[in-house]
């Protein structure tokens, strides 16, 4: 399925870049944002080479007013993907307070700054043949299902947006707006390149983008992959908290400094 009007945050690298290029095609308008101008220009050129019309914007998702203005001026939107995020952890010690705030401001507030104005805009659009006015996909993580002590803010932030999207879909679909919670496992990106621990079933950003878009096209509310790691995450999340903490504290923690995808 091709969406003609797509908006993606965090599109300058990693999964966001792969999603943009997978959506790029003749007749498609891409609204892409990122904080790195040079990388965003490179993605723009690559998407245009595939025939898409690209409207890039250098933006920080934490800037509520700028995000609202950008989305309001985009015109019709079939699909919005709130992808921008950062990763950080304890570094094997205690998670710094500045890191905790940075993770929540980007991974939760930044998602809301994207999704809320998108939903407001879609509510005024005419529904398509399938009765859907628009779709908003929120990129969470399999970390949403595991309260790992090595990355408390990251796991909590991803859990917050995953639960929010899944709960909100129940009411928003009544007026023709669908939400999707995207929960990938380990994806090969600049963000995961910093991880000093094993990453089972690590996949390319391109493969993750294809799985994500197929799930959205199929109308799935929760798009979690790969399946073996998803089920392992659910089992780990169901462990008694004390036992889970004891196990995970034996594993290497995420670096304390925020890493941008």
What string of DSSP letters covers 13-75? SHHHHHHHHHH--TT-EEEEEES-HHHHHHHHHHHHHTT-EEEEEE--TT-HHHHHHHHHTS-
| Dihedrals phi, psi of 187, to nearest 5 degrees | -120, 135
Could you tell me the CA-to-CA distances from 41 to 15, 73, 200, 247 in Å, in that order?
Answer: 16, 20, 32, 43
| 137 SS3 class | strand
Q: Which of 154, 186, 225, 230 is catalytic?
A: 154
The verdict on whether 230 is a catalytic residue reads: no
Pairing assessment for the beta strands 29-34 and 53-58 based on DSSP bridges:
parallel
CA distance 33 to 20: 10
CB 216 within 8 A of CB 135: yes
Question: Which of 108, 107, 102, 152 is closest to 253 using CA atoms?
Answer: 152
Non-local (6+) Cβ contacts of 178 within 8 A are 132, 134, 135, 136, 169, 172, 219
Q: Report the catalytic residues.
A: 154
């Amino acid at each position: 399925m091709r969406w003609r009007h797509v908006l993606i945050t965090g599109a300058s690298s990693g999964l966001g870049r792969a999603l943009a290029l997978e959506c790029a095609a003749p007749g498609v308008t891409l609204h892409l944002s990122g904080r790195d101008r040079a990388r965003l220009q490179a993605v723009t050129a690559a998407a245009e080479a595939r025939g898409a019309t690209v409207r890039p914007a250098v933006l920080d998702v934490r800037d509520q007013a700028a995000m609202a203005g950008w989305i309001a001026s985009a015109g019709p939107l079939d699909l919005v993907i709130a992808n921008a995020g950062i990763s950080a952890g304890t570094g094997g010690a205690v998670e710094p307070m500045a890191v905790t705030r940075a993770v929540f401001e980007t991974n939760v507030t930044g998602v809301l700054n994207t999704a809320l104005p998108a939903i407001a805009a879609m509510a005024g659009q005419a529904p398509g043949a399938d009765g859907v006015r628009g779709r908003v996909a929120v990129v969470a993580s399999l970390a949403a299902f595991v309260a790992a002590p090595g990355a408390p803010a990251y796991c909590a932030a991803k859990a917050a947006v995953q639960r929010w999207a899944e709960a909100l879909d129940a009411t928003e679909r009544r007026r023709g707006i669908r939400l999707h919670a995207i929960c990938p496992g380990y994806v090969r990106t600049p963000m995961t390149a910093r991880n000093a621990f094993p990453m089972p079933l690590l996949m390319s950003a391109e493969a993750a983008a294809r799985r994500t878009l197929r799930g959205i096209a199929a109308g799935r509310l929760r798009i979690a992959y790969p399946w073996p790691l998803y089920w392992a995450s659910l089992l780990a999340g169901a462990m008694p908290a004390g036992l889970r903490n004891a196990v995970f504290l034996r594993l290497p923690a995420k670096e304390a400094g925020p890493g941008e995808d």
